[in-house]
Structure 1
Amino acid sequence: MTRWTVTFQDAPEMTKIRADKARRDAHIAYVRGRPGLQIGGTLALRPQQDFPGAIWTVEAETRAEVERLVVKDPYYIPSLRRYSIHNQGQTSAVQDMLA
């Protein structure tokens, strides 16, 4: 299994999307239902700032699997959210035992 980091850069208009409770609930359910998505969270450069993006850590076999996770997320709107995917490498048996 390979570990990946996904960073998202959001347009300012994403604030309205994040404020939509139904979409937020769908996003949270989506993320929680994906065991390969190990860590997710918003990025903020200072307290009380609107979130300029987010970051995920994902375990998946291929980059294509990670991309599918991204584009099926209810928060993904191509015109408002850009993303980049970076390979962190193979997870080892030791890492798996510690998890």
Structure 2
Amino acid sequence: MKTNKAAGPDEIPNWILRDYATIFAPPVCVIFNSSLREGTVLLLWKCAGIRPLPKAQPPKLIHNDLLPTPLTPILSKCFEQFICAWITAIAGDQIYPQQFG
């Protein structure tokens, strides 16, 4: 987990989850398992804060020189990576290499 990344709308810094993983792992595991069992994702995990990042320094035109960059909650990213690794482990050799989305 990269600790130099910005916190998402949940405002949980990445370093907290990394440094206190043994404390947070059990409740996060319960949330992940519940989400998988119920087939739903927490509403907060679907939200993203949009931050403009400049393509060039300094940006001259707002609509041309700024990229809208979504900041998603860190637990949402962790859950997504877990699901991706899980699916790849099960069906990795059956997924077309150029598949995306």
Q: TM-score interval w.r.t. the shorter chain?
A: under 0.3
Higher strand share: 1
Work out which of the two has the higher radius of gyration on C-alpha atoms and give 1 or 2: 2
Q: TM-score, normalised by structure 1?
A: 0.26
Higher helix share: 2
Q: TM-score, normalised by structure 2?
A: 0.25
